[in-house]
Amino acid sequence: MRTRDLGELAVRNLREAVLRNSLTTLGVAVGVASLVAMLSLGVGLQTLASQRLTRSGLFDAVFVTSQRNFRGPRQPPPDAAPKRDSRPLDDDARQQFSKLSNVTEVYPQIRFITDVRYAGKSESTSVLGLPDSSRSSGAFEGMTGVYFSSPTAEEAILQMEFAKLLTDQPPSLVGKNLTLRYAERVALSKYADDEALLDAMMGSGKPGGISPGSISIVPHEKTLRIVGITESDPSAGIGGFGGARVYLPLKTAEQLHVAQPDDVQALLSGNPAKPSYMAMTVRVRSPKDVPQVEAAIKQLGFATFSLLDATKSLRLVFTVFDLFLGLFGSLALTVASLGIINTLVMAILERRREIGILKALGATDRDVRSLFFAEAGAMGLFGGFFGVALGWLIGSALTWGTTIYLHRQNLPGVKISYVPWWLALSAIAFAIIVSLIAGLYPASRAARLNPVEALRYE
């Protein structure tokens, strides 16, 4: 029997018992919908977490320190590079990092303690320079005010909790000025003609006795304009590991020439050197490039730290989560397969005469079996299509309800359900396979009917 004839017979038989077959197909659709809705929830939450973590800048970055300064956020990782001659983390190292393969950005961590003065109040806090790439960070979503107008703007963004220390109404700070008082690193050779200043800095001695690399650390003040107030802590995502409460553009922070711990150590030891940094952040194209770049930086003699291991644990958690959601969703589809078996067994009892005539006209057992398989596959195909559509609607309803709830809590909406193309196609294929398996017994039973007994049945 030709495939076309089998298809026509299957469609005709499905139309003759349209109500029963429709209810069976609906059962398959509900099973597929539950499977798609649960898996789309798992995929959506995984996608949401991945997007948030990627935007935070923690998983596509390598945090670099000098060997002598390395402590990581808490302790060095177990696979830290072996102890070797430490190199200063300076601009030369920064240029080397920039030339590495798959590196997109390198910037130093400029963090310092300052006295913030505003309206007669003085508060000590930590200041951090932000690279211009942090503009796209989710940390600034919903902030009061705006981001920095340019990478060199003399502007500041305050963390909300710190802003509350300056005034009872933090939003009113936007547009106002504050003053930072900090320790500046000064090269004495810059003031070689000012003997009075040199005497004050050195305590004694003459300009001619100053070594070319001599430095001094002096207090300095800088006035900045407040442009924004943010609830979150953006420093946690750019290599600062959190804690800063005043943020400046990175280039502006570099121009302040703030004294770093290495400068103090050099001044006390009498062996001043060129400016260096406590830490740097090296950004890569994607998280998969982190191991390669991290290994290359270790070969250059620096200590590194990344959060790649945390991403592996996160993927493991979501994989197990998706597995359990898929198992629970498959239960409904299993129940639907029982409905297919019941429908096709009833069809055998009602169509014994038809089966007998087909066999009498020359239809083989294989042809009869194929006919019932075609009917089961058709119910699985239509049920799969309707189930995917219904599952998508359920996921969209969950996203809509969640967004309304979050908006009532003054939080941004999120998409918690996502149906990728591979999930839709897999669900339809799974529905067809389950339907064909469910049709095995009825098809085999129909194929074994004796045509004489079948014609005598009515």
Element (H, E) at 30: helix 18-56
The rounded mean pLDDT for the chain is 76
Determine phi and psi for 323, rounding to 5 degrees: -60, -45
Measure the CA–CA gap between 67 and 53, rounded to whole angstroms: 28
Cα separation, 370 vs 10, whole angstroms: 10
Beta-bridge partner residues of 283: 61, 105
Residue 45 shares a structural domain with residue 69: no
- Based on the domain organization, do 319 and 182 belong to the same domain? no
Domain count, the chain: 2
Question: Hunting for tokens 């505003």 — which residue is that?
Answer: 118
Does 390 score more than 50 pLDDT? Answer: yes
Q: Is the pLDDT of residue 178 over 80?
A: yes
- How would you label 284-305 residue by residue, b for 16+ Cβ within 10 Å and e otherwise? beebebbeebbebbbeeebbbb
Greater confidence, 400 or 347?
A: 400
Q: Are residues 177 and 300 in the same domain?
A: yes
**Burial 96-120, CB ≥16 within 10 A → b, else e:** ebeebeebebbbbbbbbebebbbee
**Residue 70 pLDDT more than 60?**
no
Same domain, 238 and 343: no
Q: Across residues 249-258, what is the average pLDDT? A: 90
Task: Give the residue from 307, 326, 353 where a domain finishes.
Answer: 307
Pairing of strands 155-159, 279-284: unpaired
Report whether pLDDT(15) > 80.
no
Q: 270 and 346 share a domain?
A: no
Residues 301 and 435 in one domain: no
Residues 49 and 137 occupy one common structural domain: no
For residues 188 and 40, membership in a common domain is answered with: no
Predicted confidence (pLDDT) at residue 130 exceeds the cutoff of 80: yes
Report d(CA 220, CA 261) in Å as an integer: 17
> Can you tell me the mean pLDDT for 70-94?
59
Q: Give the end of a domain, one of 272, 307, 342.
A: 307
- Do 260 and 375 fall into the same domain? no
State the pLDDT confidence band at 57, using cuts at 50, 70 and 90: low
Residue of 143, 124, 138, 113 lying closest to 260 (CA atoms): 113
Predicted pLDDT at 458: 53
Whole-number pLDDT of residue 325: 67
Please identify which residue in the block is written with the tokens 């670099």. 64
Residue with tokens 């909790």: 161
Q: How many CA atoms lie within 13 A of 100 on its CB side?
A: 28
The β-bridge relationship of strands 177-187 and 155-159 is unpaired
Query: b/e for 234-271, b at 16 or more Cβ within 10 A?
Result: bbbbbbbbeebbbbbbbbbbbebbbbbebbeebbeeee
Within 57-159, residue ranges assigned H as helices are: 91-98
Question: Which residues constitute the domain of residue 179?
Answer: 61-307
The one-letter code for the residue type at 403 is T
| Other CB atoms within 10 A of residue 45 CB | 19
Which of 37-51, 213-227, 288-302 is the least confident region? 37-51
Within a 10 A sphere around the Cβ of 177, how many other Cβ atoms?
A: 14
Please report the pLDDT score of residue 177 as a whole number. 93
pLDDT of residue 175: 92
* pLDDT at 68 exceeding the cut of 70: no
Q: Are residues 237 and 334 in the same domain?
A: no
Picking from 266, 290, 307, the residue at the C-terminal end of a domain is 307
> Of 8-12, 404-408, 428-432, which range is least confident?
8-12
3-state secondary structure of 246: strand
Do 40 and 153 lie in one domain? The reply is no
Do 361 and 286 share a structural domain?
no
Which three-class secondary structure state does DSSP give residue 13? helix
